[in-house]
Structure 1
């Protein structure tokens, strides 16, 4: 038989919002949010050769945005974070807007646009060619670009 216990009205249950707030004030827990999109497959016209740019090919892009502490962890509202659906649309637009010879330039253009349009501290973009135009058997070739938001020029 369980011992009888009368609740103490002066005590709040563990894990309440007040406890969480005091952790942040005391330098306790800190939340960092990363938004990641993997395997965004797009048909594009990038490449060194004219044939690659004319005929086109499939690229697979992976995107990661470091957004830091965002309000959505508390509010549960899409408006308080970076919407990954919008990120995919932005990446698709940049990747299909014009043709680049190198994946390095494409990844840089995507990273720049993501930093311009979204509240991210850092972005990482990887573009892979699953069927590169080389005479050897490889699973894929890829390029990764990482960008970090600059100093005073980028702050609001």
Structure 2
């Protein structure tokens, strides 16, 4: 299966970082999610209950990041991957997390992970 459901540029405000000042302010993270999903069934039925509901995925990822308040982007990415695999049954995914403005000379810094198999 090579079908993919995408969510790009999901913006979430959360507390993240290792420095004392970062633990006191909310910062914006941008998440890109690529998730393997067999889109033939929802395409045939035209019914959202057969699809990987990207609104629900977005809500859960946003809620997780807002609640978890991790120190590292790596921790946040792993948590998102586990959530998507456990709660939504996603077999393969790629999570990209970006932290805009973290390094003044860069547009963003971030991590990208892949978990599971297609």
Hey, what does 1:119 align to over in structure 2? Answer: 89
Q: CA–CA distance in 2 between the matches of 1:69 and 1:32? A: 9
CA RMSD, 1 decimal? 1.5
> Cα 1:32–1:69, aligned 2, differ >3 Å: closer, same or farther?
farther
Displaced runs of 4 or more, over 3 A: none
Larger radius of gyration: 1
Report 1 or 2 for greater relative contact order, CA contacts < 8 Å, sequence distance ≥ 6: 2
Residue 44 of structure 1 contacts residue 95 of structure 1 at CA under 8 Å; is this kept in 2?
Answer: yes
Aligned residues: 117
Q: CA–CA distance in 2 between the matches of 1:70 and 1:112? A: 25
Shift of residue 69 of structure 1? 5.2
Hey, what does 1:96 align to over in structure 2? Answer: 66
Structure 2 unmatched ranges of 5 or more: none
Q: CA–CA distance in 2 between the matches of 1:70 and 1:34? A: 11
Residue 61 of structure 1 contacts residue 128 of structure 1 at CA under 8 Å; is this kept in 2?
Answer: yes
TM-score, length of structure 1 as denominator length:
0.70
